Structure 1
Amino acid sequence: MSTTPRIAIVGGGPGGLVCARTLQQHGVAVTVFEREVTPDSRSQGGTFDIRADTGQVGLRAAGLFDEFLALSRPEGQEMRLMDRSATLLRHHRPEPGDIGAPEIDRGQLRTLLLDSLTPGTVRWDHAVEKTVPLPDGTVRLEFTRGSAEEFDLVVGADGPWSRVRPALSDAQPAYSGVTFVEVHFNDVDRRFPAIAERVGQGMMWAKAGPLSLIAQRNAAAHIRVYVGFRGPLDWHADIDLADTDAVRARLLGRYEGFDGSLLDLMRHNDGAFINRPVFVLPVPHTWNRVPGITLLGDAAHLMPPVGVGANLAMLDGAELAQAIVDRPGIEDAVAVYEDAMLPRSTDQAGTAGAMLAALLPDTDSTEPDFPDFLG
């Protein structure tokens, strides 16, 4: 980079923060705008695996790989696959020293990334209302608070409902036909030892045709369960999602025939049921270049949650930052980045869609039918 550009990253998720950290590692100034009011405004979600060929590449570029390993849980790579009678069909145990895809809680990873940035890098409570390309090739960010600022490069890292993407693309996320309902268990080893034992140190997945129960161990004796099924977006239209008893009854009815030990994952959870319909962007999702704007992560390639998205976001962030450092100008850097990112994301999104169809097929069968690539 031969000049000092004004760079803004919209969104403080893993991809945006890896990009910011990598830029700062090379002495490039950057500002991150985050709509959340504080770092602790909301839960950052559950656990996810950081893969050697994507997310770990991003963390190495950010100079944080060793710190990540110290926080990660390699034992979380354990996987238990069951049918609806709770019969164990496959059991994968990671080998000692296996760090191919260790787990880490999203909150832990975000804290690691935030703490690595120069103080003041993230400007909290700055929700973007609109992204406006200007005739001179710069970009104006307009915020919901009424202020505006101009930049040489705006990076949309602001997730599925990006406020940067409309400046590049008319694409909008569409419902995939799959919904997950999330539930939580706290202090699980003491309060629910049978559930803790069934889940183990990693993930337990029980499946019958298009119905899945996925339980994942998080840090601090916490387990999150994802009740996954195919159905209409308004599957809950005649009940109140805030009515825990009504949602529980609806889900238990849908999963009739599952073993009681599996149904306990919906009977005894702590707190509310959280509805999480799965949305995706079209494949391929591409755009004509607009000076001073690009996208990364879910803003660029929202795909089913099969362990790919956040890892690709971190790889995106690292590669964009490196291109900015290596190339003589912003537009050259963005071209190099997008020429690699767009075909890769098209390929990965197609694979993720096929994985979702295999894991939650549109079928009346009650067979488990786990694909061979699992376990």
Structure 2
Amino acid sequence: MSASDSRPSIAIIGGGPSGLCLGVLLHKHGVPFTLYELRDKPDDSTLLTPSGMLDLHQESGLAAIRACGLWEDFQKHILDCSEELIVMNKHARVTHRDSGGSGPQSRPEIARNTLTHLLLESIPAESIRWECKLLSASRTSTNRISLDFGAKGILEHDFVVGADGAWSKIRNLITTVQPYYGGNQYLTLDILNATTRYPALSTLVGTGSCFILGSKKGVVSHRGVQDSIRLYVGVSTEDETPFCAPSADLEAGSLKRALVDSSDLFGTWSEQVKDLISTAVDETLVTANATQLSEPKPLYMLPIGHTWEAQPGVAIIGDAAHLMMPWAGEGVNLALWDSLDLANTIIQSWDKAEDAAEFQQIVTPLVSEFDKKMFERSKRAAEETWKNSKMLFSDDGAQAMADMMAAFQQMAS
């Protein structure tokens, strides 16, 4: 066996922000790996497709971007959505407005698709295998990790990082805990070229993020690529059944009327807000060349504060490790922070180990230390997220959020 053959074989499962960030950091330090992603390789056209906006925080997401050596390129892609925040109630009365922070308080927004492309450009093409859906993972008799990709084959690696999201197959090697419904669900809609085509709606939601809250419901928007307004129409409900299920029996016009006419949904809200929803439904159908909308997406979470014992040959990061709802803006930031810390753990072990066996001896206790730090910060974020979900989707979420923002500003002053 050659020296190169005896070095540990490392795999990353999942090509979201955490998996890609980890790949960039390992590549920068000369640690080879294979990243498996179930989707097709994205092309340049995806940069023009609206996607969720991600506000990155200084100590986590932005620290990872800097460590990847991508800070200057990152700065070129944060103009689509400003840091402006508007909060209003269901009658379109503004309860809070600010223009965002500066310096350490700055949280620039970047489109998820743009962040993906930015990270992909720093990873060698030969290190990524696309269209590889992981069906299951198991441990072999020689303590390697076996990955079953169905028709793409069964492959073995010495160390596998699960960055494979909410329904992670790698997590099953560590814990039996699974996600559960968090009590919120939302419908995603998009309006393109909003400033010129719908100036009144553009003015309503502003240049950054807008939260329109009340009666345990919310309409949350972000500005994005193609001068878009991405709209999340959300409802708090204990029933996981979609609150407005599209079907062949409910054509788009009827569904729109159900959203804006029903007193159980948004029928009692401001005409401006109902116009925003109606327009977004129409525009989404035209853009997608579709006759019906996708179903609302239920939001899932892992138990707050759940932990596990580190196992040889495997680690999990991002949503695979600490899935939570988006109501504190911490998900992608924690994921990138995980990638930064785990990369340092892997690099340190790689530099000290002569072969796969020695790598395992070194890396396992270091992963345990990594896990403990991750548990601590993700628990805090999950607690904040859960608290915020109850606040935002309360009877008067707009005033509750305004009070929270005022308290934050007072602490920062």
Coarse TM-score class (shorter-chain normalised) = over 0.9
Q: Unaligned regions of 5+ residues in structure 2, if any?
A: 286-292, 353-361, 407-413
What is the root-mean-square deviation in Å for CA atoms of aligned residues? 2.4
Question: Residue in 2 aligned with 1:341?
Answer: 374
Pick aligned residue for 1:301 from 310, 322, 328: 322
8 Å CA contact 1:209, 1:367 repeated in 2: no
* 1:28 corresponds to 2:36: no
Task: Tell me the CA shift for residue 243 of structure 1.
Answer: 3.3
Task: Tell me the CA shift for residue 366 of structure 1.
Answer: 8.1
Task: Tell me the CA shift for residue 68 of structure 1.
Answer: 1.0
Q: Which moved more, 1:86-95 or 1:102-111?
A: 86-95
Question: Residue in 2 aligned with 1:122?
Answer: 128
Question: C-alpha distance in 1, partners of 2:141/2:375?
Answer: 26
Pick aligned residue for 1:359 from 376, 392, 408: 392
8 Å CA contact 2:309, 2:368 repeated in 1: no
Q: Deviations over 1:64-123 (max 9, x none)?
A: 122112211396210011111111221101367677210111111100000111121210
Question: Residue in 1 aligned with 2:383?
Answer: 350
Task: Tell me the CA shift for residue 347 of structure 1.
Answer: 1.9
8 Å CA contact 1:84, 1:368 repeated in 2: no
Secondary structure at the counterpart of residue 268 of structure 1 = helix
Task: Tell me the CA shift for residue 128 of structure 1.
Answer: 0.6
Question: Residue in 2 aligned with 1:177?
Answer: 183
8 Å CA contact 1:183, 1:224 repeated in 2: yes
Q: Which moved more, 1:365-374 or 1:142-151?
A: 365-374
8 Å CA contact 1:74, 1:99 repeated in 2: no
Quick one: which amino acid aligns to residue 167 of structure 1? L
* 1:240 corresponds to 2:253: no
Q: Which moved more, 1:338-347 or 1:303-312?
A: 338-347
Q: Deviations over 1:216-246 (max 9, x none)?
A: 1012211101111112211447752873223
Cα separation, partners in 2 of 1:223 and 1:238, compared to 1, 3 Å: closer
Secondary structure at the counterpart of residue 71 of structure 1 = coil
Q: Unaligned regions of 5+ residues in structure 1, if any?
A: none
Larger radius of gyration: 2
Task: Tell me the CA shift for residue 358 of structure 1.
Answer: 1.1
Pick aligned residue for 2:18 from 15, 18, 30: 15
Report the TM-score when normalising by structure 1: 0.92
Report the TM-score when normalising by structure 2: 0.84
Cα separation, partners in 2 of 1:96 and 1:309, compared to 1, 3 Å: closer
Question: Residue in 1 aligned with 2:278?
Answer: 267
8 Å CA contact 2:391, 2:397 repeated in 1: no
Matched residues, number: 372
Q: Which moved more, 1:83-92 or 1:70-79?
A: 70-79
8 Å CA contact 1:34, 1:125 repeated in 2: yes
Task: Tell me the CA shift for residue 168 of structure 1.
Answer: 1.3
Quick one: which amino acid aligns to residue 179 of structure 1? Q
* 1:287 corresponds to 2:311: no
Question: Residue in 1 aligned with 2:336?
Answer: 314
Question: C-alpha distance in 1, partners of 2:401/2:100?
Answer: 19
Question: C-alpha distance in 1, partners of 2:153/2:299?
Answer: 33
Identity %: 29
Flag as ranges the 4+ runs of structure 1 deviating above 6 A.
41-44, 96-99
Secondary structure at the counterpart of residue 373 of structure 1 = helix
Question: C-alpha distance in 1, partners of 2:381/2:245?
Answer: 37
Task: Tell me the CA shift for residue 45 of structure 1.
Answer: 2.8
Secondary structure at the counterpart of residue 227 of structure 1 = strand
8 Å CA contact 2:187, 2:234 repeated in 1: yes
Q: Which moved more, 1:293-302 or 1:337-346?
A: 337-346
Question: C-alpha distance in 1, partners of 2:100/2:397?
Answer: 29
Secondary structure at the counterpart of residue 22 of structure 1 = helix
Question: C-alpha distance in 2, partners of 1:71/1:344?
Answer: 28
Cα separation, partners in 2 of 1:238 and 1:15, compared to 1, 3 Å: closer
Secondary structure at the counterpart of residue 164 of structure 2 = coil
* 1:249 corresponds to 2:257: yes
Question: C-alpha distance in 2, partners of 1:338/1:97?
Answer: 30
Secondary structure at the counterpart of residue 19 of structure 2 = helix
More helix by share: 2
